[in-house]
Chain A
Amino acid sequence: GNSVTQMEGPVTLSEEAFLTINCTYTATGYPSLFWYVQYPGEGLQLLLKATKADDKGSNKGFEATYRKETTSFHLEKGSVQVSDSAVYFCALIVLGDMRFGAGTRLTVKP
């Protein structure tokens, strides 16, 4: 079946530190891959996406590259800010079936 596994948290970083949140997937067919962010008390917001192998999604300084050979879509940011504190979800969709990882809580301290 289709599934997503992402790095368990929580992750705590200092401001301006480098961020990596690992995500790997299993899917039948050719999935599109996503990172969603959920700020406290709010719904899921699409952060970035990639629809085919080697595509790089990017937004607000975050990046993730669709790696078919390693079935991965790791999220990175070079310099995190306090405002990046949130829960991050990796997700895939294939043939209308959308699956999410369990989420990784990121806390950035000043």
Chain B
Amino acid sequence: GAGVSQSPRYKVAKRGQDVALRCDPISGHVSLFWYQQALGQGPEFLTYFQNEAQLDKSGLPSDRFFAERPEGSVSTLKIQRTQQEDSAVYLCASSPDPDTQYFGPGTRLTVL
């Protein structure tokens, strides 16, 4: 594909539901990042993978958030027992080098 893709683009969940957000990075990009972007704010780092290894998960806000990238390509961000404060746009980015990240269109999560 030409760029990073994410699905779904929009997700509405009832409070307490589990959600799974998918990211397909650019083919061949070793690094993959997840960010959370609250309304009117810049993206905030959540977690980082190099291939299948999750090297940094310091930004995950609670143990309800879990990310995986089992084969070093597609990644899934899972949020368990969603809360209203989880409502945000979740951005995925992939990177071929330490300086450049290419972002997907994001998944807008709304928790009712």
Are the C-beta atoms of B98 and A44 separated by less than 8 Å? Answer: no
Residue among B40, B98, B99, B104 with the highest chain A CB neighbour number at 10 A: B99
Q: Looking at chain B, what size class is its interface with the partner chain?
A: 20 to 34
Q: Is A17 part of the contact surface with B, judged by Cβ < 8 Å?
A: no
Interface 0/1 of A17-53, CB less than 8 Å to B = 0000000000000001000100001111110010100
Are the C-beta atoms of B42 and A93 separated by less than 8 Å? Answer: no
Are the C-beta atoms of B41 and A44 separated by less than 8 Å? Answer: no
The total of chain A residues at the interface (CB under 8 A) is: 22
Q: Is B66 part of the contact surface with A, judged by Cβ < 8 Å?
A: no
Are the C-beta atoms of A44 and B43 separated by less than 8 Å? Answer: yes
Q: Is B109 part of the contact surface with A, judged by Cβ < 8 Å?
A: no
- The A-contacting residues of B in range 8-43, CB under 8 angstroms, are 33, 40-43
* Bound Cα distance from A64 to B100, whole angstroms: 17
Expressed in whole angstroms, the minimum distance between the Cβ of A45 and any Cβ of chain B is 7
A-B contact count (CB 8 A): 46
Expressed in whole angstroms, the minimum distance between the Cβ of A41 and any Cβ of chain B is 8
Q: Is B65 part of the contact surface with A, judged by Cβ < 8 Å?
A: no
Are the C-beta atoms of A100 and B91 separated by less than 8 Å? Answer: no
* Bound Cα distance from A100 to B44, whole angstroms: 7
Are the C-beta atoms of B42 and A43 separated by less than 8 Å? Answer: no
Are the C-beta atoms of A49 and B42 separated by less than 8 Å? Answer: no
Set of chain A residues within 8 Å of B99, measured between Cβ atoms: 32, 49, 51, 93
Are the C-beta atoms of B45 and A44 separated by less than 8 Å? Answer: no
Residue among B4, B41, B102 making CB contact with A102, cutoff 8 Å: B41
- The answer to whether A101 and B42 touch (CB under 8 A), given A32-B99, A43-B91, is yes
Q: Is A97 part of the contact surface with B, judged by Cβ < 8 Å?
A: yes
